[in-house]
């Protein structure tokens, strides 16, 4: 650790907080392997300060802000994020390692949720029933919860927080974000942009940190709800702890996404899709395809097409516009992912392409590199298939029938995303009906829903009832109230039970 490195703190009450006494974590530049920054790791006291600040900002104002005022701030924030899109994308590349075009796309997908949230005056409209009984009307309203927390993973440091806070804030809540300690800069920069957009101090706060900060949020009595995205074991811990502490929780977990390729599919299209969805962002996407399920004789034709494509895949620093795939996020994660190639061989699979042989360009020798890896003859239950790898390792499983492909996917504990490649509409319809997965692609390998739909998986990929953004997001960040109201112009006392007569 060096005293010369930039040190990132928190954002509380509309200003940067350095938190000099906190312990720190290393933030790497994955392309060079160097420690580039230090980040403060908040303790429970610092988390308590952020929550108290958010609570005061709610009580003193944001709870009572008008819909017009909220929409105005959101529109201003939208303009600022658009204006700073390239800068935000470069911050992501510097700490995550993904290529610039991919990081720009991530910011764009986050912006789409901001744009959806700009429509909050419409989204919060309730229902009204006139004359439910004589002189009596009934109507429903949705109100904010209070302070809500967002805890996010390293792989989308801008987009995943933006699945959460635009809608939470638009719904009248105040927000405490706990970003991943691996790439904390972009959350802090978004906080500055909120301030520039005119968001009152204390409505959006960022506490950097790790487990201690998370546990402080999960147990804090003033936190009303928790949105979490990360790995399944942590999602389970977050769901259990926060619900035990009386909070509303949505906890999105890990994934193992399968792409089924039928013999009638366009195999060139399927090979392109497998490569882009398997190796884009170095496989560090919860919607990455990590397993191709080849039906019938497909594998013998498809595997060589995938192999050809990855032979020429440019892997290099995210800032180099010719790179299609960058490094992995840390050296530890790279080693863990690379270890699966030995595990695959031990379990009886065949390594067709071994990315450990990749040669980095000059100046980047110590980066966290792993080239694309392809493993064939994988069987269900092998560790390379049963476990989430979260790196550029694509497995190929061979099955005889379409039914066997559906059974294989439905037997998995995860249910985040999946895709089918076919030219037969009836087969595609059966797939969409029978598959036990929350997000389904038909000839689309990464079926990430648009902001006005909701994002979320099934089974061990999501704990809780509501998905992120779209109608579910509005529902999650508000609670319903139904008012029955009588304004009568007659006088007189009646004691009987109210009926519709
Ligand atoms: P992670 O679970 O390690 O970390 C996520 C967050 O939890 C971070 O903010 C981290 O600081 C915190 N955390 C980590 N360990 C903790 C612990 N023991 N107790 C309390 N908090 C803890 O996940 P990651 O490695 O940052 O991200 C990759 C994972 O996220 C993958 O499993 C991926 O599938 C998943 N993911 C899922 C989705 C989805 O929509 N389902 C989206 C993106 C990423």
For 102-131, the three-class secondary structure string (H helix, E strand, C coil) is HHHHHHHHHHHHHHHHCCHHHHCCCCEEEE
Q: Summarize pLDDT for 180-212 with one digit per residue, the tens.
A: 999 999 999 999 999 999 999 999 999 999 999
The token pair that represents 356 in the structure block: 């450990």
Ligand 1 centre distance from Cα of residue 145 (Å) = 24
What residue's CA is closest to ligand 1, atom 26?
Answer: 153
Distance from the Cα of residue 431 to its chain's centroid: 25
User: What pairing do the DSSP bridges indicate for beta strands 462-463 and 248-252?
Assistant: antiparallel
Tell me if 298 sits within 8 A of 267, measured CB to CB: yes
Q: So what's the pLDDT on residue 496?
A: 76
Partnered with residue 139 across adjacent β-strands are 128, 483
The phi-psi region of residue 442 (left if phi > 0; otherwise alpha if psi is between -120 and 50; otherwise beta) is beta
Q: What are phi and psi of 322, to 5 degrees?
A: -85, -10
Q: So what's the pLDDT on residue 322?
A: 96
CA Rg value for the chain: 25
Residue that is written with structure tokens 């298939």 in the block: 385
Give the SS3 label for residue 215: helix
The mean per-residue pLDDT over the stretch 368-384 comes to 98
**At the topology level of CATH, where does 257-442 sit?**
Aldehyde Dehydrogenase; Chain A, domain 2 (3.40.309)
Q: So what's the pLDDT on residue 169?
A: 98
Q: So what's the pLDDT on residue 1?
A: 46
> What is each CA distance from 158 to 17, 66, 71, in whole angstroms?
20, 27, 21
The mean per-residue pLDDT over the stretch 33-39 comes to 98
| Average pLDDT value over all residues in the chain | 96
Q: So what's the pLDDT on residue 221?
A: 98
For 488, which DSSP code?
-
Is 286 assigned a catalytic role?
A: yes
What residue's CA is closest to ligand 1, atom 32?
Answer: 231
Tell me if 73 sits within 8 A of 198, measured CB to CB: yes
Q: In the chain, what is the straight-line distance between the N-terminal and C-terminal CA atoms, in Å?
A: 78
Tell me if 162 sits within 8 A of 113, measured CB to CB: yes
Q: Is 252 in the pocket of ligand 1 (CB under 6 A)?
A: yes
Question: Is the predicted pLDDT of residue 2 greater than 60, yes or no?
Answer: no
Distance from C-alpha of 321 to C-alpha of 90, rounded to nearest angstrom: 12
Q: So what's the pLDDT on residue 498?
A: 73
Q: Summarize pLDDT for 72-112 with one digit per residue, the tens.
A: 999 999 999 999 999 999 999 999 999 999 999 999 999 99
Tell me if 81 sits within 8 A of 190, measured CB to CB: yes
The token pair that represents 256 in the structure block: 């193992």
Q: Give the atom of ligand 1 at the shortest distance from the alpha carbon of 462.
A: 41
Q: Quickly list H helices, 99-210.
A: 100-117, 120-123, 159-170, 185-197
Domain boundaries, the chain: 7-253+461-484, 257-442
User: In which band, very low, low, confident or very high, does the pLDDT at 359 lie, cut at 50, 70 and 90?
Assistant: confident
Question: Is the predicted pLDDT of residue 58 greater than 90, yes or no?
Answer: yes
- Entry pTM: 0.96
The token pair that represents 445 in the structure block: 């390998």
Q: Which CATH number fits domain 7-253+461-484: 3.40.640.10, 3.40.50.11540, 3.40.30.10, 3.40.605.10?
A: 3.40.605.10
Q: Is 157 in the pocket of ligand 1 (CB under 6 A)?
A: no
Q: Is 25 in the pocket of ligand 1 (CB under 6 A)?
A: no
Ligand 1 centre distance from Cα of residue 229 (Å) = 6
Q: Give the atom of ligand 1 at the shortest distance from the alpha carbon of 181.
A: 11
Question: Is the predicted pLDDT of residue 431 greater than 50, yes or no?
Answer: yes
Higher pLDDT, 490 or 36: 36
Give the SS3 label for residue 142: strand
- Give percent above pLDDT 90 in the chain: 95
Catalytic residue among 118, 171, 286, 373: 286
The token pair that represents 413 in the structure block: 């504990």
Tell me if 297 sits within 8 A of 261, measured CB to CB: no
3-state SS, one letter per residue, for 396-454: EEEECCHHHHHHHHHCCCEECEEEEECCCHHHHHHHHHHCCCCEEEECCCCCCCCCCCC
Ligand 1 centre distance from Cα of residue 314 (Å) = 28
Q: Summarize pLDDT for 440-495 with one digit per residue, the tens.
A: 999 999 999 999 999 999 999 999 999 999 999 999 999 999 999 998 766 666 77
Question: Is the predicted pLDDT of residue 62 greater than 50, yes or no?
Answer: yes
Q: So what's the pLDDT on residue 252?
A: 98
Q: Is 255 in the pocket of ligand 1 (CB under 6 A)?
A: yes
Distance from C-alpha of 414 to C-alpha of 417, rounded to nearest angstrom: 9
Distance from C-alpha of 235 to C-alpha of 154, rounded to nearest angstrom: 14
Tell me if 312 sits within 8 A of 346, measured CB to CB: no
């Amino acid at each position: 650790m060096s005293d010369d490195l930039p040190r990132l703190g928190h954002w509380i009450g509309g200003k940067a907080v350095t938190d000099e006494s906190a312990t720190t974590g290393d933030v790497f530049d994955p392309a060079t392997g160097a420690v580039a920054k230090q980040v403060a790791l908040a303790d429970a006291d610092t988390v308590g300060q952020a929550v108290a600040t958010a609570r005061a900002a709610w009580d003193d104002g944001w709870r009572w802000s008008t819909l017009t005022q909220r929409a105005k701030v959101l529109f201003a924030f939208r303009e600022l994020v658009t204006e700073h899109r390239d800068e935000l994308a470069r911050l992501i590349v510097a700490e995550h390692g993904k290529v610039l075009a991919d990081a720009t796309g991530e910011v764009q997908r986050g912006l789409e949720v901001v744009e959806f949230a700009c429509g909050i005056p419409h989204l919060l409209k309730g229902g009204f029933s006139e004359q439910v009984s004589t002189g009596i009307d009934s109507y429903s309203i949705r109100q904010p919860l209070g302070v809500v927390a967002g805890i996010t993973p390293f792989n989308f440091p801008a987009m995943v927080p933006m699945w959460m806070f635009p809608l939470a804030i638009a719904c009248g809540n105040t927000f405490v974000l706990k970003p991943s300690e691996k790439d904390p800069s972009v959350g802090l920069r978004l906080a500055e942009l909120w301030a520039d957009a005119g968001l009152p101090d204390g409505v959006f706060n960022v506490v950097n940190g790790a487990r201690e900060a998370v546990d402080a949020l999960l147990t804090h009595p003033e936190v009303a709800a928790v949105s979490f995205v990360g790995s399944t074991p942590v999602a389970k811990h977050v769901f259990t702890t926060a619900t035990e502490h009386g909070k509303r929780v949505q906890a999105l977990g890990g994934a193992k996404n399968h792409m089924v390729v039928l013999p009638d599919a366009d195999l060139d299209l399927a090979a392109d899709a497998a490569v882009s969805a398997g190796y884009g962002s170095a496989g560090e996407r919860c919607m990455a395809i990590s397993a191709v399920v080849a039906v019938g004789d497909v594998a013998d034709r498809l595997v060589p097409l995938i192999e050809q494509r990855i032979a020429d895949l440019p892997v290099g620093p995210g800032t180099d516009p010719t790179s299609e795939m960058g490094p992995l996020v840390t050296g530890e994660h790279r080693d863990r992912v690379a270890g699966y190639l030995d595990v695959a061989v031990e379990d009886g699979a065949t390594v067709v392409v071994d990315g450990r042989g990749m040669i980095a360009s000059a100046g980047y020798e110590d980066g966290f590199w792993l080239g694309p890896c392809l493993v064939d003859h994988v069987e269900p239950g092998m560790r390379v298939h049963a476990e989430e790898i979260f790196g550029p390792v694509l497995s190929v499983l061979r099955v005889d029938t379409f039914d066997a492909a559906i059974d294989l996917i439905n037997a998995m504990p995860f249910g985040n995303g999946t895709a089918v490649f076919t030219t037969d509409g009836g087969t595609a319809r059966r797939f969409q009906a029978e598959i036990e997965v929350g997000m389904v692609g038909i000839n689309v390998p990464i079926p990430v829903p648009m902001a006005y739909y909701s994002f979320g998986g099934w089974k061990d990929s999501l704990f809780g009832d509501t998905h992120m953004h779209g109608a579910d997001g509005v529902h999650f960040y508000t609670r319903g109230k139904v008012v029955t109201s009588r304004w009568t112009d007659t006088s007189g006392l009646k004691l009987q039970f109210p009926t519709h007569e």
